[in-house]
Amino acid sequence: MALFSKDASPMPSRPMGDKNESVATGSSFLGRNVVFEGTLLGDENVVIEGTVKGKISVKADVRIGPNARIEAEVHGKNVAVEGRVQGNISADNRVELVASANVDGNLKAPKIVVSEGAQFRGSVDMGSQRPSTDDKPKDEKKH
């Protein structure tokens, strides 16, 4: 497993627990045969096994199951991907792509885990700020 992080602290392998555990109380579950089009908003954990087209913006954890097919921008506190995502993924804490993940989009989070075998096409942004055009060396600035 590859780990990209600004700190050296070890990370648990899954932000939301084992995939075989049942959906916890206070979580929302979109089943394998559910197709959702639009904007999915919420304050609780979300587990997706079906198809979502549009936007996912959750203040808690998002787990995209192995059967999920997502064509959306995805944001959550922690985002774990086991299925297929076309779209950018961002997280407040961590993005994890497990071995079965297939992602075509950019990743943005302070901590990013890409497991061996995961397929990923895009860029990674771990919060580094780009220098602005005003940040020129002092000898280049005009007074």
Considering only 4-8, 34-38, 57-61, which range has the smallest mean pLDDT?
4-8
Half-sphere exposure of 77 (CA within 13 A, CB side): 10
Read off the pLDDT of residues 113-142 as tens digits, 9 standing for 90 and up: 999 999 999 999 997 555 444 545 555 555
Residue 127, pLDDT score:
79
Residue 97: which of 27, 15, 33, 34 has the closest Cα? 15
- Say if strands 62-64 and 2-5 run parallel, antiparallel, or are unpaired: unpaired
Mean pLDDT, rounded, of the chain: 82
Phi, psi (5° rounding) for residue 35? -120, 120
Reading the block at residue 68, the tokens are 């999920």
Which residues, in sequence order, are CB contacts of 41 under 8 Å at separation 6+?
A: 57, 58
First to last CA, the chain: 51
Quote the Cα angle for 92-94-100, to 5°.
135
Give dist(CA 99, CA 113) in Å, integer.
11
| Per-residue CA distances from 140 to 86, 108, 132 (Å) | 43, 32, 14
The predicted model gives 88-106 an average pLDDT of 97
Indicate whether 22 pLDDT > 50: no
Q: Does the pLDDT at position 21 exceed 70?
A: no
CA geometry: angle at 19 spanning 15 and 20, to 5°? Answer: 140
84-86 and 69-81 as β-strands: parallel, antiparallel, unpaired? Answer: parallel
- Please state the pTM of the whole predicted model: 0.74
